[in-house]
Amino acid sequence: MFDRIEGVNLDAQHPLSSGQTADSRLIRAYQGTRPDVTPVWFMRQAGRSLPEYRELRVGTRMLDVCLDPELASEITLQPVRRHGVDAGIFFSDIVVPLKLVGVDVEIVAGKGPVLGTATRTAKDVAALTSLDPAILDDALAPISEAVARTVAELGGTPLIGFAGAPFTLAAYLVEGGPSKDHIHARTLMHADPEAWAALMDWTAEVTGRFLRAQVLAGASAAQLFDSWAGALSREDYAAYVAPASAQAISHVRDLTYIERTPDAAADPTEIRRNVPVVHFGVGTGELLKEMHGIGADVVGVDYRIPLDEANRRLGGVVPIQGNVDPALLAAPWPVLEAHLRDVLERGRLAPAHVLNLGHGVPPETDPDVLTRIVGFVHEHSAASA
Ligand code: 1CP
């Protein structure tokens, strides 16, 4: 039996409500308060760069693993144990809610999500959107269970839940699989704006429910990945994509908690806070303001623009996350260290900075390099605070 605080949606046992993660470096930085030490985690920190992951994955299919609460939880915890990062990112995939709502999708090793059929016409969209997103409320049970198991192990380290933004998911649905320029998706948005709007609305509902389930089960922050939004002009982004992304995160925007800090007894003032939402895209330097504008708290920056410039474009008031170039993970340490110093220096101009990569960890990365980065960032940022 959960005891609920009046008017607050998160359970009193949720790690943010209970105080377990509310005062962590990551959550403070996401709220725009610069912690004593710069927090660090890595996109795709769980996965093929880790030998313990490769060992667990032998003979399994990706989507089966995502739906096995014990395995998904163990894989989420592996990089936290090994690297001492400031957050776990839930091990799953952006296409998991599509699978659970009944879409014919598989994740093909070395390739990515592949759909049984491509959704190219108004008729295709009508067939797809006839699948009822409400069935996810039950179908997402293995995800909720995996999250609950994970946060029970994580203690004071926050878990980040995530979902794909409607455009990035639509890019897979319309193309039928990974593509370079997402040209069929971009054609559909102009050729049949009505079908496009229906597709985006449905996708927002599906992905928004996936994100909400993770937060309700114990994730302390949420990241929306619009990995392929960099293919869009600012005008197309604003007209055809941003409203659906706002709709997707509206599924977690109403979730709040009352902060209980260690000295709460001394200071009885109650602070109601929302669950922080990060919005990230690749090649989206021209869209940063719009990506913040959908209602995100934090903007993730890829490696193509420096953080001081990203901060300038965001008006100097938005916490930022990023943006170590993944290519430099394989460079000699002095080269990587100089780059880390530069990223930290530029990140200091923003209200708060969470160090991350500009995109995911490449599979061939030496995991010891990631551990070394965590140590360096913690030491260097503490020394120069
Ligand atoms: O550690 C973590 O970051 C958690 C795991 C995670 C995340 C956040 C996975 C596991 N997938 C994702 C999100 C995801 N999936 C994104 C957004 C982030 C990004 O831009 O990298 C995208 C675009 C996908 C789609 C996808 N799934 C791809 C990319 C294909 C393309 O178009 O280039 C791939 C390769 C997958 C499969 C996948 N997802 C995750 C893993 C570990 C794997 C590889 C599976 C395997 O073959 O072992």
Alpha helices in 254-366 (DSSP H): 288-293, 307-313, 333-347
Distance in angstroms (rounded) separating the CA atoms of residues 167 and 185: 9
Distance in angstroms (rounded) separating the CA atoms of residues 208 and 63: 19
The helix/strand count (H/E) of the chain reads as 17, 11
Whether residue 96 has its Cβ less than 6 Å from ligand 1: no
Per-residue pLDDT at 383: 77
348 is catalytic: no
The model's confidence at residue 270, banded by pLDDT at 50, 70 and 90, is confident
CA of 186 to the centre of ligand 1 (A): 22
Three-state DSSP class for residue 104: coil
Nearest CA to ligand 1 atom 35: 112
Distance in angstroms (rounded) separating the CA atoms of residues 254 and 215: 11
pTM for this prediction: 0.95
Domain range summary for the chain, segments of one domain joined by +: 25-384
Q: How far is CA 139 from CA 70, 76, 89, 207, in A?
A: 17, 21, 21, 13
Nearest CA to ligand 1 atom 22: 94
93 is catalytic: yes
Whether residue 87 has its Cβ less than 6 Å from ligand 1: no
What dotted CATH number matches 25-384?
Answer: 3.20.20.210
Q: Is 13 annotated as a binding residue?
A: no
Distance in angstroms (rounded) separating the CA atoms of residues 173 and 281: 18
272 is catalytic: no
Q: What is the tens place of the pLDDT at every residue in 126-154?
A: 999 999 999 999 999 999 999 999 999 99
- Asked if residues 178 and 112 have their Cβ atoms less than 8 Å apart, the reply is yes
Number of neighbours of residue 96 by Cβ within 10 angstroms: 25
Residue 335 has pLDDT above 70, yes or no: yes
- Beta-bridge partner residues of 298: 278
Q: Is 44 annotated as a binding residue?
A: yes
Per-residue pLDDT at 3: 41
341 is catalytic: no
Find the Cα–Cα–Cα–Cα dihedral 295, 24, 361, 115, rounded to 10°: -50
Distance in angstroms (rounded) separating the CA atoms of residues 142 and 146: 6
Whether residue 215 has its Cβ less than 6 Å from ligand 1: no
Q: Is 46 annotated as a binding residue?
A: yes
Q: Which atom of ligand 1 is nearest to the CA of 62?
A: 45
Nearest CA to ligand 1 atom 7: 93
For strands 277-281 and 88-89, give the pairing: unpaired
Tell me which amino acid residue 295 is: G
Residue 6 has pLDDT above 50, yes or no: no
Q: Which atom of ligand 1 is nearest to the CA of 162?
A: 8
Distance in angstroms (rounded) separating the CA atoms of residues 218 and 147: 6
Per-residue pLDDT at 4: 41
CA of 307 to the centre of ligand 1 (A): 24
E strands, the chain, are: 88-89, 105-108, 112-115, 159-164, 221-226, 256-259, 271-274, 277-281, 298-300, 320-324, 353-357
44 is catalytic: yes
The model's confidence at residue 381, banded by pLDDT at 50, 70 and 90, is confident
Whether residue 44 has its Cβ less than 6 Å from ligand 1: yes
Three-state DSSP class for residue 126: helix
193-217 helix and 183-191 helix, angle to the nearest 10 degrees: 120
Q: Which two tokens stand for residue 285?
A: 């330097």
Nearest CA to ligand 1 atom 48: 109
